[in-house]
Amino acid sequence: MKSLRFFGLWLSLCCAVCLGQTSDKPNVLFIAIDDLNDWVGPLQGHPQVKTPNMDRLAERGVTFTNAHCQSPLCNPSRTSLLTGKRPSTTGIYGLAPWLRNVPELKTSVTLPQHFANNGYRTYSTGKIFHGGYGRRKTDTEFHELGPAAGVGAKPEKKLVGFTPGGNHGLMDWGTFPHKDEEKGDYKVASWAVDKLASKPVEPFFLSVGFFLPHVPCYATQKWFDWYPIESLELPPILLNDRQDTPRFSWYIHWDLPEPRLSWMLDVDQLKPLVQAYLASISFIDAQVGRLLDALEASGKADNTLIVLWSDHGYHLGEKEISGKNTLWDRSTNVPLIFAGPGVSQGKCHSPAELLDIYPTLIDLCGLSPLSGLEGHSLTPQLGNVDHPRKWPAITTHNHDNHGVRSKDWRYIRYADGTEELYDMAKDPNEWHNLADDPAYDNIKKEHARWLPKTSAPPAPGSKHRILVYHNGIATWQEREILPNAPIPGIEWKKE
């Protein structure tokens, strides 16, 4: 009997130790939102946007107001964040390839894999990696997968009719009779809500990726009612804004399905797009609210870190375009919010990068160190939002085109050596390019020293939105851009 009692006591102590070790590590709720610029309440990018749930998340954590993506395109941005390496290191600049198809990246330890290697159970639903990447039967990025990302209910035909640039099916926006419950993002949130209610194995890493406000921007009528078009405010737009930007600034988004401003003005679609984008944001905010409520109801909120981020921003007429694919703030500035154990409250205005998420979570969750990460932990700023930070944010779009964003300046250098410089304190809309003014040469030099020292060529299998500049020749999607070629989409009626 004594031996049995001793064995029982020993077993109880072992269980207590194990439980103690588990409870030392916080859970992680990792929320990704596609194509979301700074039009959220915590960043005040649009004066009329309503995001009450992101607002309440921000109130209990730290918001990085000057956070930037490493690429203004889905696949390279997400690959960078989830591998901890810059696009200029990986060579992934387009919507393909999948990182596991690149020999040099095949054995990369992605963020969810590193959590798994440290005893976490990893769950994922929606869009975390780009498209279907990471969701094949042979992929090992997560332990358990929920529904993939998707639009959900669609109208019988495009609501806005023909769009230039190929009349792409995704280039659409508006409302039609359907229910929130029929939308892909609602189903993604529902799976995550159910997972939280089921008391998942702890510690857990639960990643939830939302598709909207990526086009097509479809939302139900109630969300459009939040933004009456009669009183809708448009973003600040300067007509002919590109007169002082290099021609090469067009090359990095040369021929795309996203409509240019000229078309939107001609067919009166700018306001409808802005309305649909805002409505989509508020619908997604409601899904974020469902996740936050489910986490509270699970009893795990006090031991769960929440990270909310977007892969890149989106233009809605600014710089004469819609879409992403630029090195200006509208494409690069994204929401980045941390909340939970070890995180203070407030707003940090120092530059931050999505690349910083990986090392930050290693620190906050007590994971084993990992060499080769190119970001820098944000834990000092999570403890004190005014803690100084010496690094700027660097964004790369296609080979050898880089933007450097410090606290007060944006510097851009394109592959042909042409430049842009903006005083973001005085010119937040980036309307006045100062790069040719010798008075600012020292500021350009200070920022140029942060440009990546290496710039990998496009990885094998690169395609979809790939620009290459070699020996003075620019090639878009394997077709040479002639020096006097008209800019696609600007003279859209002639296409």
Annotated catalytic residues are 74, 130
Its sign, for the CA torsion 193, 196, 197, 198, is positive
Among 470, 37, 101, 46, CA closest to 251: 470
- Please tell me the distance from the alpha carbon of residue 96 to that of residue 185, in angstroms, as a whole number: 24
Helix (H) and strand (E) counts in the chain: 14, 19
- Please tell me the distance from the alpha carbon of residue 53 to that of residue 291, in angstroms, as a whole number: 10
Question: What would the 3-class secondary structure string for 334-367 be?
Answer: CCEEEECCCCCCEEEEEEEEHHHHHHHHHHHHCC
Q: At 22, which helix (H) or strand (E)? A: helix 2-24
Its sign, for the CA torsion 115, 340, 194, 19, is positive
In the DSSP assignment, the letter for residue 313 is -
Neighbours of 161 (CB within 10 A): 10
Is residue 252 a contact partner of residue 326, using CB atoms and an 8 Å limit? yes
In the DSSP assignment, the letter for residue 397 is -
- Tracing tokens 């990526």 back to the chain, one arrives at 214
Radius of gyration in angstroms for the set of CA atoms belonging to the chain, rounded to a whole number = 23
- Please tell me the distance from the alpha carbon of residue 182 to that of residue 151, in angstroms, as a whole number: 9
Helix/strand/coil for 493? helix
Query: For residue 371, what are the CA distances in angstroms to 103, 175, 203, 390, 453?
Result: 19, 48, 23, 21, 19
Helices (H), 180-324: 184-197, 221-225, 248-251, 261-266, 270-298
Among 305, 289, 48, 330, CA closest to 189: 289
Q: What angle do CA 371, 372, 374 make, to 5 degrees?
A: 125
Is residue 36 a contact partner of residue 213, using CB atoms and an 8 Å limit? yes
Q: At 20, which helix (H) or strand (E)? A: helix 2-24
- Tracing tokens 């990726």 back to the chain, one arrives at 209
Beta bridge partners of 348: 64
Among 123, 113, 68, CA closest to 361: 113
Using the CB atoms, write b or e for 426-453: b if 16+ within 10 Å.
Answer: eeebbeebbbeeeebeebbeebeebbbe
